[in-house]
Every structure is written in structure tokens, then in C-alpha cells.
Amino acid sequence: MALRSNQNLPPGPRLPSPMQTFGWWARPTGFLDRARRRYGKSFTVRLAAQDPFIVVSDPDEIKQVFTAPPDVLHPGEGTRILEPIVGPNSILLLDEGAHMTQRKLVLPAFHGKRMAGLEPLVADVTREQIAAWPRGASAPIHPRMQRLTLEVILAAVFGVRTGERLDPLRQSLTEMLDFGMNPLSLLPPARRAPFGRGPWAKFLKVRARTDELIYGEIQDRRDRGDEGGSEIINSLIGAHHEDGSPMTDEEIHDELMTLLVAGHETTATQLAWTIERLTREPRVLETLVEAVDNGDGDPYLTAVIRESLRLRPVLLNAAPRTVKKPIEVGGRTYVPRVHLLASAWLVQHDADIYPNPYAFQPERFLESDPGTYTWIPFGGGRRRCVGATFAQLEMAIVLRELLRTTEIRAGVDGPEATRRRAITVTPGRGAETILTGR
């Protein structure tokens, strides 16, 4: 039963919950903008059959949410729908001590030195993929970015590019990730597979095949004992719990799946949005191309990437935090079961913080770095995206290569609308783009 109490919750849309649910899913950015205009920076949203969601977008309140003690707010609970894909030990699904344990094991895989070691591999994959993209015709760039980021994450995780294990793994992962994008994956488990047939049964088959390949790879690496190198899998195999014990195969499997799932669609979509925005803003595009051509492009390129993440965050909100113990945020006390949602979309489109918030103006990040609680496309606190540095590095490599080798133009007139695709928000037409050789 959803919590009905209105006790001290901020006001919010009064539409019946099925209609709020529709707006939330079908028109998410318009829904958030309208609710803030009407009710202010925090408001209550009621989605069908769920406890109330409190959307917060004031930087001080966002800070309170991101820095709350681990036993007070549980972000892991809202992510449980991903368990069939990533497995029960995934950093995404855990809270408190168990979460911190896994996070400490995963973080070394993303340290600066390892990231620098990955750069040539990412650049190779990028060059190869972009060289093969058709020139001259208008086509959505999103699916091409998806293939590219899948290759990149596979290369980063496993180091190898082809092979008897990687080729089938690429195939089965694509099928699994497609399932994750399918609304069926959002159904409660009991509704999924009444007779062991249909899409859910097919998913279980694909998952069994994927697991076999991943466990095979873990075993091989353990046998070979090559802990060095820049591959993420080696970092996990070499990682130790605080008592000195190594990660189990199951833990490694679940974290690898988490990185493959979390690191692929998000980055592809953010790249597609960046292209969509660049092709609508000739002034920004020209400045960027010139900077890249002159070889001094990094500050402007970094600003473009930050501005894209501000203006079109692919995840509109950080992971919902479920209240476990009463907590005061913005002068109100929230009781257990309600969910607190820090909204990247709203804080990053707040005219008090960003003048002209709906315009694409990378210059705003040339002078100053993004703020911890005013620029939150990667969430924050102890749940902040572990792949944030990697994602921005990858975006820079891809944009540099694309602009060095092609001219980009919009394939359709006017901006593309935002469209919900499972939990991400993508360009409505997949960012239709025409590439011509330079």
C-alpha cells in the first residue's frame, strides 16, 4: 500500500496519481518545469502504487540529501528493479556498509593512472567506429553512439577487442541491455513470467549465456594471474576486502555487469544530445571546431561537455533516496518510506543559478568550474557516479575524433524534443545528423 499521509509534505500537483504517473513518464521535463513554476523548488509527486516522491532542487536541500548518513537514506532500494540484470551484489542496489564495501572495491578501477592507461584503447575503438559511419546521408546518430560506447566499455572492462568469448558476449549483452530498455523489465517480478514463456523466459536464457561467458573470463584471468594492465577486470580481481579476502566470482560478475550496464547507454545518449545541441548552435560548433583544429581545444571542449550535461542531463534526477529514519531537509521533517529525489534537471535549469538557463552556452563553464550541488548530472555524495571521469574522458575523445574527421549538420530542422527511453531521456529522433568528410 502506498503511504497516503500528507503529513508535512510540500504541496505538489493535485492530479490523480495515474495522471501524474503519465506526465512523469511521457513528458518528464515539462512535468518538472510546470510543477516548480506552480509549487516552488520542492514539491510532492504521487505516482501510482508508490510512496510519495519529494522532488528537491534547492542547492542547500540537495546538499542535505547527498550528505545524509547512510542509515537515514537508502538509494539502493529504488534501484532494485535492475537486480535481474546486474545481480544482487551490485553497488547500485546496496546500502550502508554493504554498499561502501563494494564501492571501495570498485573505485580503484577508476583511478587516474588506470584511466590514462585506457585512453589509447578508447581512442582506437573510436577511430575505427567513426571511420565506418556512412557519410552524406541523414541518419540518427544515437544508435551509432550506442554501438561505439558498447565497444568502448567492453574494451575498457576486458581489454581485448575480439575473441571467441568477446564476440558472443557482445551479442548477448546487446540482447540483455535491450531488455533493460523494455518497459517489461520495469514490471514487478510476479507479473513477468507466468508460464516460463515469452520475453522474460527469453531474457533468462540470454542471461544464462552471458553469465557463462563472464564467469569463464574471470576464471581465465585468475588462472593467468595478470593483475597489471589497465583493464577494469584486472583491478577487480586484484581488489581485496578489508579482511584481506579477495572478491568472490559472484561479486566480480555483478560489478562487471553493473559497469557494462551503467556505462554504456548513459554515455551514448549524452553524446547524441551533445551532437544535437552543437548542430543547432553554429556559433558554439564553429568555436569548438577551431579550438580542436588548433590543438588547444581542451578548455572549450570540457566546457561544451559540462554544458551538455547541464542542459540535457540524460538522467533527470539522481537515484531516489528512500527515507529510513526521520530527516530534516529544508526545514521539513520527512518520515520513513517517502523518497527524496534531487533533480538535476531543475537545479540545472534554475535561472537564479544559471542566467538564460535554456540556452546552450559553454562559456559559462570557462570562467568557473561546476558547483558540487548546482551541477549534478552524476548525482552526488557517496553515491556519485563512479564512471563520471571515464564518461567525460570518453566524450572528449569521441567529439575530438568526430570533429577532426567530419563536418556535422542537423538532419532535420529545429531542435529535437526530449523523449523518455526507460530511465534515460533521449533526443526524439535519435539526433538526426548528416556527416560529410573533411
CA 179 from centroid of its chain's CA atoms: 17
Task: Give the residue with the Cβ less far from ligand HEM, 247 or 385.
Answer: 385
Q: Of 200 and 269, which has the nearer Cβ to ligand HEM?
A: 269
Residue 197's contacts (CB-CB under 8 Å, 6 or more residues apart) are: none
Within 187-246, which residues bind ligand HEM (CB under 6 A)?
none
Q: Residue 174: which of 153, 192, 200, 160 has the closest Cα?
A: 153
Which of 42/267 has CB closer to ligand HEM?
267
Backbone angles phi, psi at 318, to 5 degrees: -65, 170
| Contacts with ligand HEM, 292-331, as mask; x by CB under 6 A | ----------------------xx--xx------------
> Does 345 engage in binding with ligand HEM (CB under 6 A)?
no
User: What contacts 322, CB < 8 A, 6 or more positions away?
Assistant: 51, 73, 74, 75, 77, 78, 337, 338, 339
Cross-strand bridge partners of residue 231? none
- Contacting residues for 175 by C-beta, under 8 A, at least 6 apart: 206
Residue 63 in the binding site for ligand HEM (CB under 6 A): no
Q: Read off the amino acid at residue 296.
A: D
| Window of 203-211, 243-251, 365-373, 386-394 that interacts with ligand HEM by CB under 6 A | 386-394
Distances in Å between the Cα of 286 and the Cα atoms of 12, 280, 292, 409 are 43, 11, 10, 12
C-beta closer to ligand HEM: residue 9 or 376: 376
By CB under 6 A, tell whether 256 contacts ligand HEM.
no
Please report whether residue 89 would count as binding ligand HEM according to CB under 6 A: no
Q: What are the residues whose beta carbons fall under 8 Å from the beta carbon of 301, sequence distance 6 or more?
A: 288, 291, 292, 396, 399, 400
Binders of ligand HEM in range 109-148 (CB under 6 A): none
Decide whether 364 or 383 has the Cβ nearer to ligand HEM. 383
- Least distance (Å) from ligand HEM to the CB of residue 265? 9
Instruction: Give the integer Cα–Cα distance in Å for 126 and 151.
Output: 9
- Does 267 participate in binding ligand HEM (rule CB under 6 A)? yes
Q: Number of residues interacting with ligand HEM: please give it, by CB under 6 A.
A: 26
385 part of the interface to ligand HEM, by CB under 6 A: yes
CA dihedral (382, 383, 389, 390) in degrees, to 10, reads 140
Report the residue from 13, 70, 180, 380 that binds ligand HEM according to the rule CB under 6 A. Answer: 380
Q: Quick check: 92 binds ligand HEM (CB under 6 A)?
A: yes
86 contributes a contact to ligand HEM by CB under 6 A: no
Q: Which stretch binds ligand HEM (CB under 6 A): 116-124, 212-220, 275-283, 384-392?
A: 384-392
DSSP sequence for 294-309: TT--HHHHHHHHHHHH
Alpha-carbon gap, residue 298 to 127, rounded angstroms: 19
Among 273, 334, 365, 390, binds ligand HEM (CB under 6 A): 390
- Binding part of the chain for ligand HEM, among 7-15, 120-128, 206-214, 371-379 by CB under 6 A, reads 371-379
Judged by CB, which is closer to ligand HEM: 319, or 410? 319
Rounded to an integer, what is the distance from CA 127 to the centroid of its chain? 23
Residues that bind ligand HEM (CB under 6 A): 75, 91-92, 103, 258-259, 262-263, 266-267, 270, 314-315, 318-319, 377-380, 383-387, 390-391
